[in-house]
């Protein structure tokens, strides 16, 4: 295998180069690193020889970076910052840390407020949140705690339901007023004439407007023209943000947007919702013992879970009943 350029350069040279760039003075860089000014100069000269390009312009005691030196400094500084951040959990005396993974919609619509509450009461605990819509990333065993979109059990995680998925059209009061609608009287056929806001289905089990309509009212769906979204976003959270801004009607996951419904920022349209049988589950690892801090966060999130309440006038359709 051909040796890389990096294999010939002592890694210490990059630390010396970084210090020299920050101080723009070899003597001060040497004092920071506990080496002499002459040693700094030798390291920089060796690095320039390896790279075949000058990194500093020297005018007496004044230093300036060359264009190549400036570009290298940006890369070296970013790499050292990344390494320092990665080593933080190993620092002696550092408090516990938790690796938590959740989808973008859960993180944006449900999880953020609850994590802030936990951090306020547990300032010693560091939380690293991975936000992804990839099932493999979410279920990775590198995580201490996960929130998974699932219907039942998982082979590697003990799941407890946080939010059952119940879907219904929602819109902002301003949009409803502009259209002259009675929110409770909006029919399924009316939806086709409204500004529908949809999202891309990254997961085959997610439900957008077309499959929702087909499942809640198959006969009506066959008679009406296929719904054509006015806006389609790459993520569900962006679709809900557009609905909050009054841009149209989104398919609301009622448990995730319970706060927006309670405050009136969003209003449900019509009388029908769909219980899909899926939901967002909080998962602890099955095959290793969770540390005390992870268990505290697990308990906090379970205590904070919210289930949507179904108004008296509303008709709920379960996925198994959709074709009946």
Residue ending a domain, among 30, 64, 90, is 90
**Distance (Å, rounded) from C-alpha 160 to C-alpha 145?**
12
Same domain, 181 and 315: yes
Residue ending a domain, among 90, 124, 150, is 90
**Distance (Å, rounded) from C-alpha 168 to C-alpha 17?**
58
- Take residue 25 and report the two structure tokens written for it: 């003075």
Residues 22-31 have a mean pLDDT of 91
Residues 296-302 have a mean pLDDT of 94
Q: Strand pairing partners for 131?
A: 102
- Indicate whether 189 belongs to any domain: yes
- Do the beta carbons of residue 23 and residue 32 sit within 8 Å? yes
**Distance (Å, rounded) from C-alpha 103 to C-alpha 97?**
20
Q: What is the CATH number of the domain that holds 227?
A: 3.40.190.10
> pLDDT band at residue 233, thresholds of 50, 70 and 90?
very high
Same domain, 222 and 81: no
- Indicate whether 113 belongs to any domain: no
Same domain, 171 and 313: yes
Closest C-alpha among 302, 298, 253 to residue 279: 253
Residues 258-287 have a mean pLDDT of 93
Each residue's pLDDT tens digit, 163-210: 999 999 999 999 999 999 999 999 888 888 899 999 988 777 888 888
| Arithmetic mean of pLDDT over the chain | 86
* 285 contacts: CB under 8 Å, gap ≥ 6: 141, 144, 156, 157, 158
Judged against a pLDDT cut of 90, whether residue 300 lies above it is answered with yes
- Do the beta carbons of residue 273 and residue 318 sit within 8 Å? no
278 or 310, greater pLDDT? 278
10 or 268, greater pLDDT? 268
Residue ending a domain, among 90, 107, 142, is 90
Judged against a pLDDT cut of 80, whether residue 222 lies above it is answered with no
**Distance (Å, rounded) from C-alpha 216 to C-alpha 323?**
8
What's the number of domains the chain is made of? 2
62-71, 125-134, 159-168, 298-307: the lowest-pLDDT one = 298-307
- Indicate whether 103 belongs to any domain: no
Same domain, 190 and 315: yes
Domain of residue 242, residue span: 166-273+305-321
**Distance (Å, rounded) from C-alpha 42 to C-alpha 35?**
11
- Indicate whether 11 belongs to any domain: yes
Same domain, 189 and 316: yes
pTM of the model: 0.68
């Amino acid at each position: 295998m051909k040796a890389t350029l990096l294999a010939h350069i002592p890694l210490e040279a990059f630390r010396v180069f970084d210090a020299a760039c920050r101080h723009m003075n070899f003597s001060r860089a040497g004092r920071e690193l506990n080496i002499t000014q002459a040693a700094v100069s030798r390291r920089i000269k060796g690095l320039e020889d390896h790279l075949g390009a000058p990194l500093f312009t020297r005018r007496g005691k004044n230093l300036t970076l060359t264009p190549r030196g400036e570009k290298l400094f940006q890369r070296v500084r970013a790499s050292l910052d990344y390494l320092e951040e990665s080593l933080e959990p190993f620092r002696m005396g550092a408090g516990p840390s938790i690796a938590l993974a959740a989808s973008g919609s859960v993180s944006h619509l449900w999880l953020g407020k609850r994590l802030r509450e936990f951090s306020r009461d547990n300032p010693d605990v560091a939380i690293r949140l991975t936000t992804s819509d990839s099932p493999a990333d979410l279920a990775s065993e590198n995580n201490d705690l996960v929130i998974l979109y699932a219907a039942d059990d998982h082979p590697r995680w003990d799941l407890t339901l946080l939010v059952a998925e119940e879907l219904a059209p929602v819109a902002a009061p301003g949009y409803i007023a502009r259209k002259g609608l009675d929110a409770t009287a909006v029919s399924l056929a009316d939806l086709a004439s409204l500004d529908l806001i949809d999202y891309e289905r990254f997961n085959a089990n997610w439900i957008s407007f077309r499959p929702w309509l087909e499942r809640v009212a198959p006969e009506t769906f066959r008679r009406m023209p296929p719904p054509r979204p006015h806006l389609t976003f790459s993520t569900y959270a962006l679709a809900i943000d557009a609905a909050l801004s009054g841009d149209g009607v989104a398919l609301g996951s009622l448990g995730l947007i319970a706060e927006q419904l309670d405050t009136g920022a969003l209003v449900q349209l019509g009388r029908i919702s769909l219980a899909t049988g899926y939901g967002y589950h909080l998962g602890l690892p099955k095959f290793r013992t969770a540390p005390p801090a992870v268990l505290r966060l697990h308990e906090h999130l379970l205590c904070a879970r919210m289930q949507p309440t179904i108004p008296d006038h509303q008709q709920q359709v379960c996925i198994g009943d959709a074709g009946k």
